[in-house]
Amino acid sequence: MDSWKLEYRCFNPQQQGLREALCTLGNGYFACRGAAPEATADDVHYPATYIAGCYNRLQTEIAGETIENESLVNAPNWLLLSFRIEGGDWFNLSEADILSYHQQLDIKQAILTRTLRFRGPAGRHTCIEQRRLVSMDQPHLAALQTLIYAEDWSGAIEIRSALDGHIVNAGVERYRDLNNLHLKSLTAESVTDDMCWLEVETNQSHIRIAQAATTRFWRGDKVIGLKPRVDRLEGSISHLYKTELDANQPLRIEKIAAIYTSRDHAISEPGLEARKAVAQSATFEQLAGRHILLWKQLWRRFDFDIVHEDAEEEDRTEQILRLHILHLIQTTSPHVMDLDVGVPARGLHGEAYRGHIFWDELFVFPLFNLRMPEITRALLRYRYRRLDEARRAARKAGYHGAMYPWQSASNGREESQHLHLNPKSGNWIADNSHLQRHINAAVAYNVWQYYQVTRDMEFLSFYGAEMLLEIARFWASLASYNEELARFVILRVMGPDEYHDAYPDKDQPGLNNNAYTNLMAVWVLLRALDLREILPTQRFSELCQTLNLSKEEFALWDEISRNMHVPFHQDDHGHDIISQFEGYQELAEFDWEGYRNKYGDIQRLDRILEAENDSPNRYKVSKQADVLMLFYLLSSEELDELLTHLGYSFEYETIPRNIDYYLERTSHGSTLSRVVNSWVLARANRPGAWALFTEALNSDVADIQGGTTPEGIHTGAMAGTVDLIQRCFTGIETRGDVLWLNPSLPEGLKSLNLNIRYRQHVLGLQMTTTCVRICTEPSAEQPIQIGIGGKIYHLKQGEVREFQL
């Protein structure tokens, strides 16, 4: 098995949606699903192209209400290329007599190949070989190369190459009752015999999208000029070429497409730039050469190497992790450094969650922090640009500071839907997920982690600190003092576990004192207070002036940070358990076995119970890790500090006890859940860690939720699995100006090698179960501090150190 390849050896219509998502190619500016070039959207195929940050809003009447949704727009389809032989039917995978089929995603080169052989009418055999790329070198370009061999016949062939702007967003079945026509056609024209272009505009956000494409033909090395018939339909343009195919003389067709939008920098207007880009473009081979070079450089930074005692296991793990890294880079490549975009939870790979940006960044950023932090910096600036909108949202809700939305897209308005469809019952139900205020802890945590890894003081001074301070202010205003408890409380929120949005007997949504939210709020307040010592004095006082921050306000933050309430209850053995929220212990235990027997797959218990006229709010059931998120984000030392600071006692055993308690009560309805569970268990249960890790690995390749991956990859779970190797098994923690290492390789894993960047140093890490070797590349950087086994060492540039464990 080649761990750099993802291969499929037959065409399987049921699997097509999944493969399209997994074979998506992208470069951070745009991405294109791995659909068949000749296909248009139907029950099997869903070709789609998504441009980062290209959103549009539409209204729909649903259940007597007008709702508005903002979606990442499916752009015109540049890929369309189909053919027919001697006036027969246009080639169609589902109807053709396929003799062999091979589809391969080359993970190293980010090139998708499809080779197929089929028998046409009169027993004629034809072979097609197609390669495509979305250029990492030139972010506006994509290319498709097609070779057609007539094996045992000669005759006429027609090729249609089109740009199709007659497109709607129809990638997610349960959104199909919602309006989905985002594009208005402006132009669709033929420019020359080999070039056409079109322009559309999104009908609310008024983003103009232009595409131009050239289609050129070769017989051997000889270019052949063909005169097309031009077909123009509403919003689309196609060139129809006719030529002769000789037996065993392949015809080569290259389609090069360019995409520009009115959001781009350094352009005159998108149409002109798109036409110019394709007119001047190199051939497929030349484009591929540069594209592969760029990917080679990226892999040098992002790759890793493991040795497992089971060689097959090793290959499979490396293959899936590399696939994950590929898709993450394709979603947020170095090209995002110059864009105003975030990380859509489902990548640029499908339409689930409408391309929105959630707290999933929390799982994605650690990978980029330690490999290419410039990318995280750009993504954090997406949040900074929406700080004013977050301030407005806080004010509108009666709070101070900045309240970031649970779902974010174009301008940072709250994009969570008010109603969502339960496909199981057909009911439209109130959606209270916007109450997940913990997104604000995630934004602050991400700022802090980025700073810890990079020590980028300029970023912290000018962007990060302002976000942190405003978020701290929000938490302080959300907290209220409870006389009876003599502590601060946070009321009417939702934690990460989306199964619980209200108390069973209450009409009003929200829960009180979600432990994760309360503790992370305290964590944010403490970090905001730390800024007093970290920021240059002048900058700190400037911020205090501009944000109108007083000593009294800091004093209040300090007081809240010492007196926040954290609910506890006891398990059957009388041990303390951190309650997911206040009152959790009153909820009924759930009949897990009964429901498993009845339904088999109970990952989406919320849908099952709603369809039964019941609600998860009544039970001790979690969709995903909630309390356990604390052990995921904070080391036991940090959690100890936090709880002690709050005057609660903490003993290490609390961690495994809570893990056991909540794992028994979690259905893993979110792919993030398995990542967190593997992570927290990996530290507590070395023998079991590998099994859990491999379970988390399968989330997308095996589409373990049964149908969600075709609607888009799960960027959080993909990054989380890579980060299990990167930070969890290595025990990497960046805290207090020290890079802590605390390796704990799971049973079976013999060694682990990776390169990371920490404070401008390039570090090579090699770990076995008994030894850690660290080397730094020569550079002009200051020494860094490495913490191993409780001791701190200074490491200079160019140094190599070995530590026995």
Among 29, 302, 359, 661, binds ligand BGC (CB under 6 A): 359
The partner residues of 255 in beta bridges, in order of sequence, read 144, 215
Segment contacting ligand BGC by CB under 6 A, of 236-244, 355-363, 411-419, 480-488: 355-363
Segment contacting ligand BGC by CB under 6 A, of 38-46, 186-194, 351-359, 794-802: 351-359
Minimum CB–partner distance for residue 622 and ligand BGC (Å): 10
Q: Is 699 in the site for ligand BGC (CB under 6 A)?
A: no
Among 345, 403, 627, 634, binds ligand BGC (CB under 6 A): 345
Segment contacting ligand BGC by CB under 6 A, of 13-21, 331-339, 353-361, 735-743: 353-361
Q: Decide whether 228 or 495 has the Cβ nearer to ligand BGC.
A: 495
Q: Is 720 in the site for ligand BGC (CB under 6 A)?
A: no
Q: Is 670 in the site for ligand BGC (CB under 6 A)?
A: yes
Element (H, E) at 115: strand 111-119
Q: Decide whether 210 or 605 has the Cβ nearer to ligand BGC.
A: 605
Minimum CB–partner distance for residue 24 and ligand BGC (Å): 17
Give the chain's largest Cα–Cα span.
Answer: 90
Instruction: Say whether 571 counts as a known binding-site residue.
Output: no
CB 714 within 8 A of CB 671: yes
Minimum CB–partner distance for residue 349 and ligand BGC (Å): 13
What dihedral angle (degrees, nearest 10) is formed by the CA atoms of 703, 704, 705, 710?
0
| Sign of the torsion formed by the C-alpha atoms of 653, 654, 659 and 665 | positive
> Which residue is associated with the tokens 């000018």?
462
Give how far Cα 622 sits from Cα of 333, 439, 584, 665, Å. 34, 18, 11, 6
Minimum CB–partner distance for residue 716 and ligand BGC (Å): 6
Segment contacting ligand BGC by CB under 6 A, of 103-111, 357-365, 392-400, 597-605: 357-365
Q: Decide whether 410 or 624 has the Cβ nearer to ligand BGC.
A: 624
d(CA 362, CA 470): 19
Q: Is 353 in the site for ligand BGC (CB under 6 A)?
A: yes
Among 624, 678, 699, 730, binds ligand BGC (CB under 6 A): 624
Query: Nearest 5°: phi and psi at 621?
Result: -130, 140
Residues between 740 and 779 that touch ligand BGC (CB under 6 A): none
- Structural tokens at position 421: 């469809």
Q: Which residues contact 683 (CB under 8 A, 6 or more apart)?
A: 728, 731, 744
Minimum CB–partner distance for residue 623 and ligand BGC (Å): 6
Task: Classify residue 89 as exposed, middle or buried by CB count within 10 Å of its CB (0-12, 13-18, 19+).
Answer: exposed
d(CA 713, CA 20): 10
Minimum CB–partner distance for residue 671 and ligand BGC (Å): 7
Q: Is 358 in the site for ligand BGC (CB under 6 A)?
A: yes
CB 187 within 8 A of CB 197: yes
498: annotated active-site residue: yes
Q: Interface mask (CB under 6 A) for ligand BGC, residues 492-531, using x and -?
A: ----x-x---------------------------------
CB 510 within 8 A of CB 493: yes
Residues between 186 and 205 that touch ligand BGC (CB under 6 A): none
Minimum CB–partner distance for residue 117 and ligand BGC (Å): 40
Q: Is 172 in the site for ligand BGC (CB under 6 A)?
A: no
Minimum CB–partner distance for residue 330 and ligand BGC (Å): 17
Q: Decide whether 52 or 148 has the Cβ nearer to ligand BGC.
A: 52
Q: Decide whether 554 or 581 has the Cβ nearer to ligand BGC.
A: 581
Residues between 772 and 801 that touch ligand BGC (CB under 6 A): none
Q: Which residues contact 272 (CB under 8 A, 6 or more apart)?
A: none
CB 133 within 8 A of CB 288: yes
Task: Find the DSSP H helices in 311-454.
Answer: 311-331, 361-369, 373-385, 387-396, 439-454
Reference 113, options 350, 284, 290; nearest CA is: 284
Segment contacting ligand BGC by CB under 6 A, of 83-91, 254-262, 358-366, 611-619: 358-366
Query: Nearest 5°: phi and psi at 43?
Result: -70, -20
d(CA 210, CA 54): 13
| Sign of the torsion formed by the C-alpha atoms of 549, 551, 552 and 557 | positive
Residues between 468 and 497 that touch ligand BGC (CB under 6 A): 496
What DSSP assignment string belongs to 365-405? HHHHHTT-HHHHHHHHHHHHHTHHHHHHHHHHTT-SS----
Among 139, 716, 743, 787, binds ligand BGC (CB under 6 A): 716
Q: Decide whether 500 or 623 has the Cβ nearer to ligand BGC.
A: 623
CA atoms within 13 A on the CB side of 102: 11
Kind of pairing, strands 784-788 and 738-741?
Answer: parallel
Minimum CB–partner distance for residue 693 and ligand BGC (Å): 20
Segment contacting ligand BGC by CB under 6 A, of 324-332, 354-362, 525-533, 605-613: 354-362
How many residues contact ligand BGC, by CB under 6 A? Answer: 12
Minimum CB–partner distance for residue 68 and ligand BGC (Å): 20
CB 659 within 8 A of CB 680: yes
- Structural tokens at position 355: 């391309």
d(CA 757, CA 369): 8
| Sign of the torsion formed by the C-alpha atoms of 739, 323, 605 and 656 | negative
Query: For residue 96, how far is the Cα from the chain centroid?
Result: 36
Q: Decide whether 360 or 389 has the Cβ nearer to ligand BGC.
A: 360
Segment contacting ligand BGC by CB under 6 A, of 6-14, 140-148, 356-364, 599-607: 356-364
Residues between 589 and 618 that touch ligand BGC (CB under 6 A): none
Instruction: Say whether 601 counts as a known binding-site residue.
Output: no
Q: Decide whether 326 or 625 has the Cβ nearer to ligand BGC.
A: 625
Which member of 498, 582, 711, 733 is catalytic?
Answer: 498
d(CA 35, CA 48): 8
Instruction: Say whether 624 counts as a known binding-site residue.
Output: yes
Minimum CB–partner distance for residue 675 and ligand BGC (Å): 11
Instruction: Say whether 89 counts as a known binding-site residue.
Output: no
Q: Decide whether 496 or 616 has the Cβ nearer to ligand BGC.
A: 496
Q: Is 360 in the site for ligand BGC (CB under 6 A)?
A: yes
- Structural tokens at position 505: 């007997």
Q: Decide whether 38 or 606 has the Cβ nearer to ligand BGC.
A: 606
Crossing angle of helices 636-645 and 515-534, rounded to 10°: 90
Among 672, 745, 756, 765, binds ligand BGC (CB under 6 A): 672
Q: Decide whether 235 or 496 has the Cβ nearer to ligand BGC.
A: 496
- Structural tokens at position 370: 């330690």
Q: Which residues contact 229 (CB under 8 A, 6 or more apart)?
A: 239, 240, 242
- Structural tokens at position 262: 């009115």
The residues annotated with a catalytic role in the active site are 498
Residue list, annotated binding site for substrate: 359-360, 623-624
In the complex, the residues that contact ligand BGC under the rule CB under 6 A are 345, 353, 358-360, 496, 498, 623-624, 670, 672, 716
Residue list, annotated binding site: 359-360, 623-624
